[in-house]
């Protein structure tokens, strides 16, 4: 039976706003009402971040209802106050507040993480969102830019930036703290949502913030600290901040992660989770959802009654989307909500097999050291962490530091395996990677969550440039395995055989289908393997997502009498030309499908190799890639939008065969 999801309609918010109530009590009520709706939206979307949406909610509500002029001047006024959250993943809370003010339609609000709806991380395409975020640590800098521009343009309005506490591990924050003081950016206020839990662990256990108040004061900021759930205390701080015009101001708001739902609140939730916080990301299962929603609604109604007001009404929202046909497993990366892993370590789950393979490697080589930047669960290195704590290095959310540290480890002869999401590792620590590579040591970079899918979190997380970001390094091999079996081979190769740096590219979700390699298949440098055969054209592909679509295209074309060979090509920048020529020999048409942008990916590499080997004489070549910014939505929505789903690929291949000019 499907759980019924209900939300509090706009009319109830309008009623509470107009009711005769003491301001702070009204804000308490509104915050809980916004919590209920954020919970409903996340449940309906099937994923999203509740823990920090809830910890920040009282502050966001205070800002929008009392501090900021946005409700009166509107979202487009040049003198408007500006608020955005640097941590970004707490955007369900912001959406909920915008909805409560009539600034976001109900239809949009309940299209969270769907194509044409709301991105899983903030994007300015949504009116009311002032900055794109999702990748951490950029907010104070960007807020400083907005504030500087307001001053230069003689515009009114103040700038408020919310940050997480774990987020403060990113060094960019400290750059911004310095420059904001130097430039006297007095119209900038930062609020640290200090809920003490980052992702699924305590901040103090990951990388402590130490004496945060002293630290911030030493940077020259005006610092205040108060209970971030106490509206009276918040009012006092903001009143005081309003008087200080020449110095940037920062509030350390002591908050509780998961605030408002008893079993989601830290520290209880952390204790019940055996030291791991379950409610950072992901939609709660049905039972927990009902319990949480019920608890919030009951509290709201109790308070309404105490103030002599009517209960809220609850309106049913459309049921959550069903899993899509070829994504029978949920492909979302943020799976910390389940006590038990949602997916077993099967051959279809490359990320989990990667984690297992590292364990095997660790058993035989004690020079292998694993580095993490606060994504141990998602990167599947938690088992390693718990089993080999003496050679698991947690660096916090600080990719640059992690990568340069790996460089130092390698200089002493260790073999570091560096883990993070591809977007953050390839891009943020790019120069550090180059610096290490220049030392001719060997480091393995595991780039998780590579590619278009899952597409719910939005463009800050979808990594479609990582091949290009590693590609121009002279001494780095890039490999992407297509299934668990190949993942094992890739890890073993990287650890035991490779002489250069290796970038391992991994999708984070389970595969859309079981991809079987031929019996006896072995990983050979620069070679791949035929997974489906056909007589009319060849399509090179890599990684579980695109190989699935390629196979689907081949199956669809076979029904129409067109034969499409699908070749799995795990080596993204090394090629055995003899093997390549064998693969293309029977064909006039060569295609490649990229789980990457069209520039700087495997397709460009293959094209160079084909040209170098004379392989394009009287053959056509076409590349299907993720053009433009990646779409946010379900896997099917995103693939279809980019014409990379099996059916679209089949059409594109057919049209290429018909019209494709030979090169």
Q: Which is nearer to a copy of itself, 194 or 548 (CB)?
A: 194
Tokens coding 542? 């890599």
Q: How far is the CB of 195 from a copy of itself (least distance, A)?
A: 18
Which residue has 């949920």 as its token pair? 330
- The nearer residue to a copy of itself, 101 or 415, going by C-beta atoms, is 415
Return the exposure string of 431-469: e unless at least 16 CB atoms fall within 10 Å of the residue's CB, then b.
ebbbebbeeebbbbbbbbbbbbbbbbbbbbbbbbbbbbb
- As measured in angstroms, the least distance from the Cβ of 156 to a copy of itself is 12
Please count the helices (runs of H) and the strands (runs of E) in the chain. Answer: 25, 20
**439 or 578, CB closer to a copy of itself?**
439
Task: Please count the CA atoms within 13 angstroms of the CA of 626 that sit on its side-chain side.
Answer: 27
Residue 377 phi, psi (nearest 5): -65, -50
Instruction: Considering the complex, state which of residue 278 and residue 642 has its C-beta at the smaller distance from a copy of itself.
Output: 642
**Which residues partner with 565 through β-bridges?**
538
The residue among 284 and 451 lying less far from a copy of itself, judged by its C-beta, is 451
Q: Which of 385, 395, 379 is nearest to 432 (CA)?
A: 395
- Which residues, other chains included, contact 230 with Cβ-Cβ below 8 Å and sequence gap of 6+? none
Residue 459 CA: distances (Å) to CA of 123, 391, 450, 464: 9, 33, 12, 9
Nearest-10 crossing angle of helices 646-659, 543-559: 60
Tell me the closest approach of the beta carbon of residue 384 to a copy of itself, in angstroms: 15
Give the nearer residue to a copy of itself in terms of CB position, either 83 or 148. Answer: 148
| Pairing label, strands 589-593, 249-254 | unpaired
Give the separation between CA 511 and CA 492, rounded to whole angstroms: 21
CB nearer to a copy of itself: give 300 or 403.
Answer: 403
Nearer to a copy of itself, 55 or 460 (CB): 460
According to DSSP, residue 320 is labeled: P
Shortest separation between residue 663's beta carbon and a copy of itself, angstroms: 5
Least Å distance, CB 136 to a copy of itself, is 10
CB of 350 to a copy of itself, least distance (A): 23
Helix (H) or strand (E) holding 511: none
Nearer to a copy of itself (CB atom), residue 141 or residue 643 = 141
Q: How far is the CB of 464 from a copy of itself (least distance, A)?
A: 7
Answer yes or no: are the C-beta atoms of 259 and 229 closer than 8 Å: yes
Cβ-based nearer residue to a copy of itself, 230 or 500: 500
Nearer Cβ to a copy of itself, position 420 or 568?
A: 420
β-pairing verdict for 444-448 and 392-394: unpaired
Q: How far is the CB of 158 from a copy of itself (least distance, A)?
A: 13
**Nearer to a copy of itself by C-beta: 413 or 561?**
413
Nearer to a copy of itself, 142 or 380 (CB): 142
- Residue 396 Cβ, how far from a copy of itself at the closest point, in Å? 6
Question: Residue 331 burial by CB count (10 A; 0-12/13-18/19+): exposed, middle or buried?
Answer: buried
**Choice between 511 and 583, CB closer to a copy of itself:** 583
Least CB distance to a copy of itself at residue 616 (A)? 5
Residue with tokens 């206020």: 189
Question: Smallest distance, Å, CB 226 to a copy of itself?
Answer: 20
Choose between 13 and 424: whose C-beta lies nearer to a copy of itself.
424
Cα angle, residue 518 at apex, residues 514 and 523 outer, rounded to 5°: 100
DSSP state of 112: B
Residue 46: CB minimum distance to a copy of itself, A: 24
Rounded to whole angstroms, how far apart are CA atoms 172 and 352?
Answer: 31
113 three-class SS: coil
Residue among 369, 317, 378, 322 at smallest CA distance from 351: 378
Between the two ends of the chain, the Cα-to-Cα distance in Å is: 56
Residue number, 113 or 428, with CB nearest to a copy of itself: 428
DSSP conformational letter for 21 = -
CA gyration radius, the chain: 26
Work out how close the CB of 487 gets to a copy of itself at its nearest, in angstroms, rounded to a whole number.
25
DSSP 401-464: HHHHHHHHHHHTT-EEEEEEEHIIIIIITHHHHHHHHTTT---EEEEESBBS-S-SS-TTT-B-
> CB of residue 191 vs a copy of itself: minimum separation in angstroms?
17
Contact 284, 5 (CB under 8 A): no
What is the closest distance, in whole angstroms, from the C-beta atom of residue 97 to a copy of itself in the complex? 20
d(CA 125, CA 34): 22
Q: Which is nearer to a copy of itself, 297 or 409 (CB)?
A: 409
Matching residue, tokens 């106490």: 230
Closest CA relative to residue 49, chosen from 82, 14, 88, 76: 88
Pairing of strands 620-624, 476-479: unpaired
| Distance set, CA 368 to CA 116, 402, 410, 506 (Å) | 45, 15, 10, 19
Could you tell me the smallest distance in angstroms from the CB atom of residue 196 to a copy of itself?
Answer: 15
Cβ atoms of 504 and 479 closer than 8 Å? yes
Smallest gap, in angstroms, from Cβ of residue 182 to a copy of itself?
A: 5
């Amino acid at each position: 039976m499907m759980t019924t999801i209900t939300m509090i309609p706009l009319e109830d918010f309008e009623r509470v706003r107009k009711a005769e109530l003491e301001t702070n009590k009204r804000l308490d009520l509104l915050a809980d009402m916004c919590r209920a709706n954020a919970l409903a939206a996340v449940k309906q979307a099937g994923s999203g971040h509740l823990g920090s949406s809830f910890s920040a909610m009282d502050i966001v509500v205070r800002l929008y209802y009392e501090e900021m002029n946005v409700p009166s001047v509107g979202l487009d006024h040049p003198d408007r106050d500006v608020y955005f959250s640097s941590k970004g993943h707490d955007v369900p809370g912001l959406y909920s507040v915008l909805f409560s003010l009539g600034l976001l339609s109900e239809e949009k609000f309940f299209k969270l993480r769907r194509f044409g709806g709301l991105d899983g991380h903030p994007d300015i395409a949504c009116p009311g969102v002032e900055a794109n975020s999702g990748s951490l640590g950029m907010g104070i800098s960007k807020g400083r830019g907005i504030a500087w521009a307001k001053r230069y343009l003689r515009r009114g309005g103040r700038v408020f930036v919310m940050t997480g506490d774990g987020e403060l591990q990113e060094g960019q924050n400290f750059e911004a703290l310095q420059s904001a003081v130097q430039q006297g950016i007095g119209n900038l206020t930062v609020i640290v949502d200090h809920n003490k839990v980052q992702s699924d662990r305590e901040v103090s256990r990951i990388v402590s913030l130490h004496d945060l108040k002293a630290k911030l004061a030493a940077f020259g900021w005006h610092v205040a600290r108060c209970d971030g759930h106490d509206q009276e205390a918040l009012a006092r701080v903001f009143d005081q901040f309003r008087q200080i015009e020449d110095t940037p101001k920062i509030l350390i708001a002591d908050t509780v992660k998961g605030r408002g739902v008893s079993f989601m609140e830290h520290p209880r939730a952390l204790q019940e989770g055996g030291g791991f916080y379950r409610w950072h990301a992901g939609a709660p299962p049905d039972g927990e959802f009902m319990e949480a929603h019920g608890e919030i609604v009951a509290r709201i109604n109790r308070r309404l009654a105490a103030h002599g007001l009517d209960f809220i009404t609850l309106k049913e929202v459309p049921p959550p989307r069903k899993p899509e046909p070829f994504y029978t497993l949920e492909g979302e990366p943020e799976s910390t909500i389940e006590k038990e892993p949602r997916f077993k370590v099967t051959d279809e789950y490359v990320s989990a097999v990667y984690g297992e393979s590292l364990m095997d490697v660790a058993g035989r080589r004690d020079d292998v050291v694993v580095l993490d930047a606060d994504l141990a669960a998602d990167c599947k290195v938690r088992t390693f962490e718990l089993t080999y704590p003496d050679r698991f290095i947690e660096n916090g959310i600080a990719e640059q530091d992690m990568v340069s540290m790996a460089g130092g480890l390698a200089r002493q002869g260790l073999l570091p395996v560096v883990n993070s999401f591809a977007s953050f590792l390839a891009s943020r620590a790019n120069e550090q990677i180059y610096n290490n590579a220049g030392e001719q040591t060997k480091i393995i970079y595991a780039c998780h969550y590579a590619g278009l899918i899952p597409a719910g979190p939005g463009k800050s997380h979808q990594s479609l440039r990582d091949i290009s970001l590693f590609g121009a390094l002279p001494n780095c091999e890039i490999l992407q395995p297509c299934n668990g079996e190949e993942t094992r081979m890739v890890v073993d190769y990287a650890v035991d055989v490779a002489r250069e740096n290796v970038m391992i590219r991994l999708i984070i979700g389970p595969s859309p289908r079981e991809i079987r390699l031929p019996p006896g298949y072995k990983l050979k440098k620069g070679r791949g393997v035929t997974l489906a055969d056909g007589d009319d054209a060849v399509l090179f592909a890599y990684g579980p997502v695109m190989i699935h679509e390629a196979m689907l295209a081949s199956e669809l074309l076979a029904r129409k009498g067109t034969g499409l060979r699908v070749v799995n090509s795990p080596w993204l920048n090394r090629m055995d030309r003899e093997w390549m020529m064998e693969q293309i020999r029977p064909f006039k048409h060569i295609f490649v499908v990229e789980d990457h942008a069209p520039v700087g990916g495997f397709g460009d590499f293959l094209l160079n190799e084909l040209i170098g080997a004379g392989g394009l004489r009287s053959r056509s070549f076409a590349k299907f890639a993720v053009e433009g910014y990646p779409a946010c939505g379900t896997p099917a929505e995103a693939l279809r939008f980019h014409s990379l789903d099996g059916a679209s690929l089949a059409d594109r291949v057919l049209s290429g065969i018909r019209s494709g000019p030979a090169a």
